[in-house]
């Protein structure tokens, strides 16, 4: 017996999307949250790490751009003289410019690294898994190059403020104005090529080493996440390897950046290297201050990677908790 209800096909309007696509806005929203988390975590990581080692960083730059021989004793004397003559907070001179640069730089670098890992993971078929060594290195190099290209003028300003007295540049804006007026806008990108050439091995090896050590740790310990102390150690190893590989180009970059205020003229990377080697020697010139970098670099990179990872974990927990309460 029939139920009295007439059955007939129902025509749906063609412009109605299938119900299966309803999950896409949620996925897009999650992607945006992940990008925002990476940006925030990277910004905090860069700020904390650079502030912690700012006095050592300023001292290293002052040796890099001069012809004085570097030694731990001379570095200590320079720090002490600066403290006596200009006060305690002068040891952080240029750190405001560093923050203006490093916050966007670190935010872009860490966020770009997460995105490049996903892209390369999809391309090589490792989606959701750890990348193999070569893509791991490429992801780090691309992340560092992207960040350096977008923030380079701020690095130039930071170097100028680090090696000049307060009277010469009163603020970050003043540095931009004077350089533009007296030396031309092109000067803001002086030293850009050695920077990029140095960033490729530095960022590539740093991220590669850190990610590799975390993977080896997970494979051997059975724990998915290392402890904060282990993260600091892995980051320190990453910084030591990355900065040692790219250090000569870092010296060349600083010389070219500060040439306008220190009375030098450096027209190219090779000529700058030749002049440094001729006047100061290969090791004492191109590797000047490297021993200080072996102290400063591992500390900074270790703090940076650890802060980024722990902040990411905290933000994800907060988002998960907020989502569960809804």
Average the pLDDT over 68-91 and give the result: 81
Average the pLDDT over 157-185 and give the result: 83
Q: What percent of the chain has pLDDT over 90?
A: 34
Q: Are the CB atoms for 284 and 69 separated by under 8 Å? A: yes
Report whether pLDDT(227) > 90: yes
More confident residue, 122 or 202: 202
Chain Cα centroid distance, residue 270? 26
The pLDDT value recorded for residue 266 is 73
Chain Cα centroid distance, residue 74? 29
For the question of whether the overall pTM of this predicted structure is more than 0.85, the answer is no
Cα–Cα distance, 320 to 53 (Å, whole number): 34
Angle formed at CA 249 by CA 181 and CA 289, multiple of 5 degrees: 100
Cα–Cα distance, 181 to 207 (Å, whole number): 39
Q: Are the CB atoms for 214 and 234 separated by under 8 Å? A: yes
Q: Which residue has the tokens 């850009």?
A: 192
Burial 22-51 (b: 16+ CB within 10 A, else e): eeeeeeeeeeeebeebbbbbbbbbbbbbbb
Tell me which range, 95-109, 120-134, 229-243, 281-295, is most confidently predicted by mean pLDDT. Answer: 229-243
> 92 is written with which tokens?
């952080």
The per-residue DSSP string of 2-55 comes to: --SPPP---PPPTTSPPGGGGGHHHHHHHHHHHHHHHHHHHHHHHHHHHHHTHH
Cα–Cα distance, 158 to 156 (Å, whole number): 5
- Give the lowest-confidence range in 5-9, 55-59, 198-202, 281-285: 5-9
Single out the residue of 230, 228, 235 nearest to residue 220, CA to CA: 230
Domains along the chain with CATH numbers: 93-189 (no CATH), 190-309 (1.50.40.10)
Tell me the average pLDDT of the chain: 83
Alpha helices in the chain (DSSP H): 24-52, 54-64, 72-86, 95-124, 133-163, 172-182, 192-221, 228-262, 269-280, 290-325
Report whether pLDDT(164) > 70: yes
Q: Are the CB atoms for 202 and 246 separated by under 8 Å? A: yes
> 74 is written with which tokens?
């001379």
Chain Cα centroid distance, residue 317? 25
Report whether pLDDT(27) > 80: no
DSSP single-letter state for residue 283: I
The pLDDT value recorded for residue 283 is 86
Q: Under DSSP, is residue 132 helix (H, G, I), strand (E, B) or coil?
A: coil
Kindly indicate the confidence band of residue 322, based on its pLDDT and cuts at 50, 70 and 90.
low
Kindly indicate the confidence band of residue 222, based on its pLDDT and cuts at 50, 70 and 90.
confident
């Amino acid at each position: 017996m029939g139920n009295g209800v007439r059955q007939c096909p129902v025509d749906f309007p063609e412009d109605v999307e299938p119900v299966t696509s309803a999950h896409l806005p949620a996925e897009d929203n999650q992607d945006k949250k992940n990008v925002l988390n990476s940006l925030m975590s990277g910004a905090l990581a860069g700020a904390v790490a650079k502030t912690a080692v700012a006095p050592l960083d300023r001292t290293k730059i002052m040796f890099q751009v001069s012809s004085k021989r570097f030694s731990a004793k001379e570095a200590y004397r320079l720090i002490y003289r600066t403290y006596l003559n200009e006060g305690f907070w002068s040891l952080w001179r240029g750190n405001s410019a560093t923050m203006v640069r490093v916050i966007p730089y670190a935010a872009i670098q860490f966020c770009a690294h997460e995105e490049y890992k996903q892209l390369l993971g999809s391309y090589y078929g490792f989606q959701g898994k750890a990348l193999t060594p070569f893509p791991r290195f490429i992801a780090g190099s691309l992340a560092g190059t992207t960040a350096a290209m977008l923030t380079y003028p701020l690095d130039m300003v930071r170097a100028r403020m680090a090696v000049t007295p307060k009277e010469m540049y009163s603020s970050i804006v003043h540095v931009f104005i004077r350089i533009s007026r007296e030396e031309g806008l092109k000067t803001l990108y002086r030293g850009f090529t050695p920077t990029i050439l140095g960033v490729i091995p530095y960022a590539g090896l740093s991220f590669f080493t850190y990610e590799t050590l975390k993977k080896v740790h997970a494979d051997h310990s059975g724990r998915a996440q290392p402890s904060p102390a282990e993260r600091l150690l892995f980051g320190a190893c990453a910084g030591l390897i990355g900065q040692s590989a790219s250090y000569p180009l870092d010296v060349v970059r600083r010389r070219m950046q500060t040439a306008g205020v220190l009375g030098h003229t450096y027209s190219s990377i090779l000529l700058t290297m030749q002049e440094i080697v001729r006047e100061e020697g290969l090791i004492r010139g191109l590797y000047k201050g490297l021993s200080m970098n072996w102290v400063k670099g591992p500390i900074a990179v270790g703090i940076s990677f650890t802060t980024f990872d722990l902040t990411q974990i905290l933000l994800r927990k907060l988002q998960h908790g907020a989502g569960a309460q809804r």
